[in-house]
Amino acid sequence: MLKVFLDTNVFIVSLEDLQSNSNLVVRAAISNRFLPVVSQQVLEEIKGYVARNYSSDVANKYLYQVKNIPLLNTVPTEKIVPAMDSFAGLVTDKDDLPHVTACILEDCNVFVTIDRKLTQMKAKQKIRFASPKQFVELLGMRSINTSQDE
Amino acid sequence: MATEALVHVRLNVRDQAFLDEMVEKGNSSSKSDVLRTALRLYQYSELCGQLRQANPKPRPLKTILAELKQIRQTNYKRVFGAGKC
């Protein structure tokens, strides 16, 4: 089964747009179609975004659902920190480093993100990036034709 | 059984397809696994649906990504400190 790192933007666009490939990706994760991996930072970013745009109550509900994805593996910060320096050269934006590090540490097959800038960093030498649409197709599902990069 | 029937009736076509494939591919070890997944998919749809009722138009992708970047930068500074890396 594919081991897949899911970026924060996948969870947020899934919530914001029911007719998105990101929504298909999250549903596929809930249905055990692959082994989803996130970093602790991803969960904190989801909470921050949803609390800011909706409410703390909605943020907690959503986080509860994400944490309850059956096969979800959350990489703790304590595991990421000691390895971060080794991969510092792979990113342009240092704030992306914990996520890239978590993906490499967990030996993920794919990193799914909508952030095109991230996919063009040196990290692409070590990580296979995919947009939600590309990943949906990789799973053998029919993707949604969106007007955006998603 | 009644609960199972209820869940199946209220799932949308796409989620039903996920469940069917789960059963076909043997990704679940038991009937209760399938039922739990059905409930999770249903709860997920419910939450997304409630938010869309409150805000029918999805926010533009660019706006979402810009805000997420800001949150990522703030969290990074808080957790790892500005000088790291």
Q: Can you tell me the mean pLDDT for B5-21?
A: 64
Distance CA A37, CA B12 (A): 26
Least confidently predicted of A64-68, B36-40, B67-71? B36-40
A32: left (phi over 0), alpha (psi -120 to 50) or beta: left
> Is B59 in Cβ contact with A16 (below 8 Å)?
yes
Q: Which long-range contacts (CB under 8 A, 24 or more apart) does B62-66 make?
A: B64/A9, B64/A12, B64/A13, B64/A16, B65/A9, B65/A114, B65/A115
Distance CA B14, CA A76 (A): 33
Domain ranges of chain A: 3-138
Backbone angles phi, psi at A129, to 5 degrees: -90, 150
How many residue pairs from chains A and B have C-beta atoms closer than 8 A?
113
pLDDT value of position B31: 72
CB–CB of A43/A74 below 8 Å? yes
pLDDT value of position B1: 46
> Is B61 in Cβ contact with A13 (below 8 Å)?
yes
pLDDT value of position B85: 45
**Which three-class secondary structure state does DSSP give residue A48?**
helix
Put simply, the chain A residues between 117 and 146 with a CB less than 8 A from any chain B CB are none
| Mutation target among B16, B36, B64 for the A interface, most CBs of A within 10 A | B64
CB–CB of B37/B19 below 8 Å? yes
Hey, is the C-beta of A61 within 8 angstroms of any chain B C-beta?
yes
- Does residue A2 carry a pLDDT above 90? yes
- Does residue B9 carry a pLDDT above 50? no
Distance CA B31, CA B37 (A): 10
pTM score: 0.88
Question: What is the CATH architecture assignment of A3-138?
Answer: 3-Layer(aba) Sandwich (3.40)
- Which residues of chain A are within 8 Å of residue B43 when distances are taken between CB atoms? 65
Residue B54 distance to chain A (closest CA, Å): 10
